[in-house]
A and B are shown apart, each in its own frame.
Chain A
Amino acid sequence: QKEVEQDPGPLSVPEGAIVSLNCTYSNSAFQYFMWYRQYSRKGPELLMYTYSSGNKEDGRFTAQVDKSSKYISLFIRDSQPSDSATYLCAMSAGTYKYIFGTGTRLKVLA
């Protein structure tokens, strides 16, 4: 079993929809949770960074962490075609070492 599981998609939604992207993990030592966005043929770009449980909001993006269920989510409101990308979750137990999910491909249709 992988330490971090992420549905690869692809996930297709109409413009304006609310998108929910999720990751589950098995290592209870993870404390730091990140979401990266990766456009085709580009490097991952940090979107959200959260510590511990709860919600964090930044514009149209909300990151949610449920440590009791070992489950994290990224919500995108009012999705736009420019949000079409691969979204990677990453986790850390508080050190340099990030464990990444395999990424979910999202396509927002105009």
Chain B
Amino acid sequence: DSGVTQTPKHLITATGQRVTLRCSPRSGDLSVYWYQQSLDQGLQFLIQYYNGEERAKGNILERFSAQQFPDLHSELNLSSLELGDSALYFCASSVEGGRRTDTQYFGPGTRLTVL
């Protein structure tokens, strides 16, 4: 168990809908990362937050957004969902995020199915 928690484990929804995925980092970690994992693309970095502020953006669609709250938990919002958004979404956390010795620890993921 990495200490990173994610809810829900599974989510089934329809095209055009909006969902929110939640992540709680390991105790003491200030940085949260979101990744998308699909069969053909592998693990793709979406966005990073550090202590409440956005630090870096990767291949995140405009329909997706995220935030990190004062208690350091993070939410990833996915809107106007399309079939191609079906994937596993992982959250990872690290102590700082950016230091070369920082290690990312992953949560168990949320499996999103868009019908």
Contacts and interface: CB of A to CB of B under 8 A. Distances in A.
Interface string A85-110: 00010101011111111110000000
A19 to B, nearest CB: 20
21 contacts: A31-B100, A36-B106, A41-B109, A42-B108, A43-B2, A43-B106, A44-B106, A45-B2, A46-B104, A49-B103, A88-B42, A88-B43, A95-B98, A95-B100, A96-B31, A96-B97, A97-B45, A97-B58, A98-B45, A102-B42, A103-B43
Interface in A68-89: 88
Given A45-B2, A96-B55, A102-B42, A32 B109 contact: no
A88 B35 CA distance: 14
B33 A43 contact: no
A88 B41 CA distance: 13
Nearest to B55: A96
Given A46-B105, A98-B104, A101-B42, 20 more contacts: A41-B109, A41-B111, A42-B108, A42-B109, A43-B2, A43-B4, A44-B90, A46-B103, A88-B43, A96-B31, A96-B48, A96-B56, A96-B94, A96-B97, A96-B98, A96-B102, A97-B56, A98-B45, A100-B44, A103-B42
